[in-house]
A and B are shown apart, each in its own frame.
Chain A
Amino acid sequence: MSVSTATVSAKVTAGLATSQSRRGAVSVNSLTKNFGPVKAVDDVSLSIEPGEFVALLGSSGSGKSTLLMMIAGFEASSSGDIMLDGMRINDVPSYRRGFGMVFQSYALFPHMTIAENIAYPLRRRGLRGADVEREVVKALKLVALDGYGTRLPSQLSGGQQQRVALARALVFRPPLLLMDEPLGALDRKLRQQLQMEIKLIHKEVGSTIIFVTHDQEEALSMADRVAVLEQGRLQQCGTPRELYEQPAIAFVADFIGEMNFLPVELRQSGGEVCARSADLGLEVMQEAGQVLTSGDRGLLAVRPEYVGLTPDERATAMVLESAYTGTNQSVLVQVGSIRLTARTSVSAGRPLFQSGQRVRFEIDAAHTRVFPAAR
């Protein structure tokens, strides 16, 4: 251990929120990892503020874990830098980085009690006796497991084990907490409950958190910012709202929430672009900033809630299928060879749309974007 016992225990016993205020700024610059010919992580740059909660979101195999493992120090990078509070840490071994880590499989030491598991990082930092005990009790309280200290991991449920893992990763007040799909092994209800708890704990301890998940709902609901990865590349990073309302590429638009993609022809007219589709009988004027392609064809992206439907016997569009979800009705509409989904709010007195019904549809131009045609 490079740091002396005294310094560490001073850090450990300092106040919860204050000790974190300026630590835990993480950034990666042009970080790349090759596994032979596979670029698991491809030129990723990302900067994270102290205390920020960032989710790494992507489908399976997109490189989330590899990126996290490089930050944790378990995997060497092929090129690029990893910085913590302005210092390059690529060559610092994992056990000197001092980051907390929570694994999907909990990774509690089966031969130690819950209390010993939580005491483990404290002992490695030279804490002894009553100091250890006090911190362990506090950590157990933090995850609402007071009194479970003498049990063995095998005597706890999955959700409880993951809370112990969280307590163990936080008890030494790491500036940065890394979590790799920590809720992936839990059932839906427990997952939602722990999502809330983790958010509350984040508020309380103030560590920077990088949270890997493939569940977009989880990422959007938990994180301050979401970084979307696809095939090792960082596609977009922004607040949940930015990602939802201003997706930078079609992949993000498709991955997050629901999205209709309608093929359109594009024509420049002054400062605006006209997107039209003869098949759909559609013509939308777009500000140039909303059009993310320079070609003469594109995909007009519109979310279901911005597609309006009106019953109309003479219209060409027809309702194929619909699903009632309480406050909303999702309606799948066929127009020529194209299908699109609309979400209409259900109001008292208005009848629901029925399969086979003819409808007229309109698109709210203010909430559309145009992506390149080749997806």
Chain B
Amino acid sequence: MPHRRDALGREHLLPVLLLLPIVALFSVGYIVPLAQLVLKSLQHEGAWSLKSYIEIANSPAFLWIVLKTLALAATVTIVCLLIAYPLAYAISKCPPRPAAFLLLIVTLPYLTSVLIRTYAWIVLLSPNGPVNQLLLHLGLISEPLQMVFNSVGVYVGMVQVQLPLMVFPLYAVLARVNPSLAKAAQSLGSPPSDAFLRVTLPASMPGVISGCTLVFLSSLGFYITPELLGGPDSYLIAQGISLRVLILGNFDEAAAQSSILMLTVIAVFLIFRQRIAEELDDRPNNNVSSTGKSSTGLSPRSPILERLTAVLHGPLMRLHEALTVVRRPALYVSAGLTLLLLVLPFVVVIPLAFSNAPYLTFPPPGYSLRWFSSLLKNTQWLDALSFSLRWAGLSALLSVAIGVPAAFALVRYRFSARVPVYLLLISPLIVPHVVIAVSLFFALAGSSLIDNPLAFALSYTIIGAPYTVVVMIAGLKRFNRTLELAAASLGSSPLVTLRTVTFPLLLPTLASGAIFAFIVGFDDVVFGLFLSGPTATPLPMRMWDNIRLEISPQIAVIAVLFLIVLALLMVLRLFVGAVVQGRRPQESLHA
């Protein structure tokens, strides 16, 4: 019960016990390998040395790659912000049901593997793909534009892939901006446009910051999309690292580059940790003033921001007034286009799966199930599918088993290491997977754990459990603890309360956490690149090879199957929710 302390210090022991499993697993599979990676980068032929760093610092090629990576991450972040904001704003203004539907459309691509989406972009942007066909048809171009296998493809693909990461935090904040706040501003004399500039926009800044941080950090270490959609001119840092490990065998430099990438990401992460750790905050989140209010009741804004706003205010106001007439249409057109961008991959992938052509061409000349039957006949694909289902499934269970107790400890107990532990547990969300995979590859190299399903179970859990933790923390914070007090007053011990009240009510959240963890493992390519072999081949590795070597409609079939599974999982999740809301058969009563 809240803030009970007893002489035995049980209050301190319990969170430790709850956190023990996940911290132990993270130590073995994450912290130690990463620490070894950094140590390795500081050594050369068995002795301490900065040789690797000196070498890469003197390499203009590396510096060029770093610059290109930073430029890409920054551009993708800005473009995402510009197109995600109107969409998030429009959704936040929608009534609950349409809003939920639109959010589902944003979530769908987020849950669909990056591999599938990148594949769709290859089809969409290829010289005889639908985009070029449309442009030719409209007479805007006279010959196909080269948009794949160069940086154009990388930029388009990256923006589409990262977009949901920007929409979610923006929507979360905008939905929270109490509409009555904007109304209050209006009734106090600000015209609507001014109310947006003075109230809504500043209030949404926390969402802008977390969205930008997420997209920027995640873009820095991105591998799949640049590798598949890019050409030689769009070579980025994550590709450089994997090339050094897998092809060149230059482990020392790979370790140094990985360390630099990781430390950069961690540094940015720590700068913005206040925002991120806010998730753990107890203050009620239901109104905007809770986002950083000083004791004077005035929001602390940086003087620079203040001055910038003051300078920009006049011109912005005039622009805004001029735009007032077209404001609504512009908002909806822009939000609509962004939605289109999000669903475009599915628009090509689904018909493609039913193509009757023996090779990839869009639109398909005719329709058949030939690619479905070819998949069912191919034992290699089926083996890979069953491998992925099995080990991603196991990891999802493991993620729940270790993530749920951790979330309880973090939300329900106060201890000094709380924020650091939280940051550690969610850090796999932002440390590039390439870096984690390389560190595991080094740690396991030479052991029987390479090309071993156990290594996959371990790595899938490390990248999946953070999702379970985050989802569960959100669920626990939303949970009405008065229900537990009520249960106690009615005679339930803490364990009985957990079993009869807390757990049943959190079951839908638990299911979401498990689904997230499963999908993260099931979609993984990067760990597959480093840890797979002839005996342990997950499905994404087969897809990866297919896209790189032959690119056939086979991938589209997998995508369609994946969407079906996703739909089933979502229905299951809804069902679990309904069961929890409805009657539970075991305790039913005929009164």
Q: Which A residues form the contact surface with B (CB < 8 A)?
A: 1, 72-76, 93-95, 97-101, 103, 105, 107-113, 115-116, 119-121, 123-125, 132-133, 136-137, 140, 149-150, 152, 154, 168-169, 172, 178
Contact = CB atoms under 8 A, between A and B. Distances in A.
A178 B485 CA distance: 12
A70 to B, nearest CB: 12
A140 B591 CA distance: 10
Contacts of B1: 73-74, 93-94
A110 B579 CA distance: 11
Interface residues of B, number: 34
Q: Across chains A and B, which 5 residue pairs bring their CB atoms closest together, nearest first? A: A101-B489, A124-B491, A115-B591, A121-B490, A149-B591
A119 B490 CA distance: 10
A168 B490 contact: yes
A85 B581 CA distance: 40
B486 interface: yes
B31 interface: no
A268 B486 CA distance: 57
A202 B376 CA distance: 71
A168 B501 CA distance: 15
Contacts of B486: 101, 103, 107-109
Given A107-B483, A133-B590, A168-B490, A76 B5 contact: yes
Given A109-B501, A113-B583, A133-B591, A121 B491 contact: yes
B297 interface: no
A133 B492 CA distance: 20
A91 to B, nearest CB: 9
B290 interface: no
Interface in B189-210: none
B581 A152 contact: yes
15 contacts: A74-B485, A74-B488, A76-B4, A107-B480, A107-B486, A109-B487, A111-B504, A111-B505, A111-B582, A111-B584, A116-B583, A116-B584, A116-B588, A137-B591, A168-B490
Interface in B467-495: 480, 482-483, 485-494
B136 interface: no
A320 to B, nearest CB: 33
Contacts of B271: none
A98 B488 CA distance: 9
A364 to B, nearest CB: 47
Most buried by B among A111, A112, A140, A178: A111
Given A113-B589, A115-B589, A95 B488 contact: yes
A109 B483 contact: yes
Interface in B495-509: 496-497, 500-501, 504-505
Contacts of A98: 491
A367 to B, nearest CB: 44
A172 B492 CA distance: 13
Contacts, number: 111
A152 B591 contact: no
Interface string B513-553: 00000000000000000000000000000000000000000
A336 B324 CA distance: 59
B280 interface: no
A72 B489 contact: yes
B95 interface: no
Nearest to B482: A107
A115 B3 CA distance: 32
B490 A120 contact: yes
B282 interface: no
B483 A74 contact: no
Contact of B492 (A95, A107, A110, A149): A95
Contacts of A115: 589, 591
Contact of B3 (A75, A113, A119, A133): A75
B269 to A, nearest CB: 32
B582 A152 contact: yes
A125 B491 contact: yes
A132 B590 CA distance: 10
Most buried by A among B487, B489, B501, B582: B489
Given A75-B3, A95-B488, A110-B581, A105 B589 contact: no
Given A107-B482, A150-B591, 13 more contacts: A75-B3, A94-B1, A95-B489, A95-B490, A103-B486, A105-B480, A109-B501, A111-B580, A111-B582, A116-B583, A121-B491, A132-B589, A172-B491
B587 interface: yes
Given A95-B491, A107-B482, A149 B589 contact: yes
Nearest to A91: B6
A41 to B, nearest CB: 15
Contacts of B581: 110-111, 152, 154
Contact of A136 (B3, B487, B591): B591
Contacts of A113: 583, 588-589
Contacts of A152: 581-583
